Amino acid sequence: MDFTYADVGATGREGAACPDGFRSLRVRTRIGRGPDARRVAGDAVLGWKMHRAVGVTVAPTAQRAAPGVDVVVGIGVGRRRILAPCRVVWALDEPTRAGFAYGTLPGHPECGEEAFVVELDANGEVWLTVRAFSRPAAWYARAGGPVTRLLQRAYAKRCGLVLRRAVARHTARGRAAR
């Protein structure tokens, strides 16, 4: 299957503009402090744990996000579950950054790309940045209008909260073990 948009990989290019006809999204959340927090959060993103903890189903073709890995994200329950097929377009796992982006495939209710990047900054703070560009592809996504955009922003914020909790739990376990 081919991607449903032309500018594949744009979320990974520094300074790339949002493609014409798409809406951009950027949500940044502080999730912890230090290299250990970066490692825990990066593993949760690359290993699909963050997505599962947010409350969506994830059916990837590999245990870790890597270029070419297909994944079907399921949103909702039962017959009302919306399936969203995607393919990972880039991934990184560096000492200060970890994350990936996936792009939409045919059958996804949106058209575009979304990136999830954990970064340890120069001050030792760890951040999750969710960047995306999208436009509705399915009739129900178009009909949702501004509500669809609000749901996308809420999902991005929830990703940050989930990672913050995972890092806090890990830190608390480390303190308890000492």
Q: Higher pLDDT residue, 142 or 66? A: 66
Alpha carbon distance 170, 44 (integer Å):
12
Average pLDDT over residues 14-30: 91
Q: What residue spans define the domains of the chain?
A: 23-177
Alpha carbon distance 114, 64 (integer Å):
16
Q: Give residue-wise pLDDT tens across range 88-99.
A: 999 999 999 999
Average pLDDT over residues 37-59: 95
Neighbours of 81 (CB within 10 A): 12
The pLDDT, as a whole number, for residue 121 is 97
Alpha carbon distance 32, 110 (integer Å):
31
Q: How confident is the model at residue 170 (pLDDT cuts 50, 70, 90)?
A: confident
Q: Which fold has domain 23-177?
A: Alpha-D-Glucose-1,6-Bisphosphate; Chain A, domain 4 (3.30.530)
pTM: 0.93
Average pLDDT over residues 33-50: 96
